[in-house]
Amino acid sequence: MRPFLRYVSRNPTLGVGLSMFLLLFLFWIIGPLFIDVNLARPLSAMPDMPPSRQYPLGTDTLGRQILPVMLQGTLYTFEIGLVAGAAGLLIGTILGFAAGYLGGPLDTFIRTSADVILTIPALAVLVVIASSIKETLSPRTMAGVIAMLAWMWPTRTIRAQVLSMRERPYVEIARLSGMNDIQIIAQELLPNLLPYLAASFVGAVAAALLAAVGLEALGLGPQTEPTLGMTIFWCMYYGAILRGLYWWWVPPMAAISYVFIGLFLISSGLDELANPRLRRARG
């Protein structure tokens, strides 16, 4: 833990990104103590009310208070990105290690499958799937839909990393010492790839968030949950910008920007940890 804290102190980019998400987690934990999340439901307040002492961020045309919508919306949206990104990276890691280390026909099959699926427009496929089940979509179901097409790129990149690592001297020494393939992967390859996997995980979460917000902004998200993307959809549906209801569309846009900036800073900081050339350049 101490080496990581020392690294964060020497890497302000990573430190700022982690601090941003620490504040966001505190908002999720402490917020419900002061904000009634039930006020995020339709007709819980007067519609189209501007910010005031009674309604700190105002209300929308559906009669929902924007502040509890932001509390639940950021949490649901980040949950979708986190689950989808983690699932996609997990599948990609397993397939990437299997293809890169074992090779042979299995490598050919996995590599070809990933390359073929990557040529298919992912957004179009997600739109078709989400539109067919949108009536039963929940945040976790939507995360599963996005994860279905989130494993190909991690599979390719991790396979390439494993291909370069499996021929290194320490792997040959591990083979000569009697270690089997699973032991070599778990004890030799995986620990050396952890910094890269950490950076890939942040990138996978960001990509899943982008896909989720894009689908929701088209109205293909959880219809009954106040996610950030669905909030933007209802803003467009009711013409909030044309009607001058700035307090309705500014908070979700600001929240999305905040989350993506934090993820970008964390990814940049972890990229230096995973890339020896960047570490040497800083040093």
Answer whether residue 205 shows pLDDT above 90: yes
- Domain for residue 78, yes or no? yes
At residue 274, the pLDDT reads 64
Q: What predicted TM-score, i.e. pTM, was given to this entire model?
A: 0.87
**CATH number, residue 117:** 1.10.3720.10
- Domain for residue 83, yes or no? yes
- Domain for residue 159, yes or no? yes
- Domain for residue 16, yes or no? no
- Domain for residue 36, yes or no? no
Q: Torsion over CA of 128, 132, 136 and 138, rounded to 10 degrees?
A: 0
- Domain for residue 130, yes or no? yes
- Domain for residue 53, yes or no? no
What is the tally of structural domains in the chain? 1
Q: Say if CB 109 and CB 102 are below 8 A apart.
A: no
Q: Which range of residues forms the domain containing residue 216?
A: 60-282
Q: Is the alpha carbon torsion for 199, 205, 206, 211 positive or negative?
A: positive
Answer whether residue 33 shows pLDDT above 80: yes
pLDDT in tens, 182-198: 888 888 888 888 888 88
Under the banding of pLDDT at 50, 70 and 90, the label for residue 135 is low
Higher pLDDT, 253 or 144: 253
- Domain for residue 264, yes or no? yes
Answer whether residue 279 shows pLDDT above 60: no
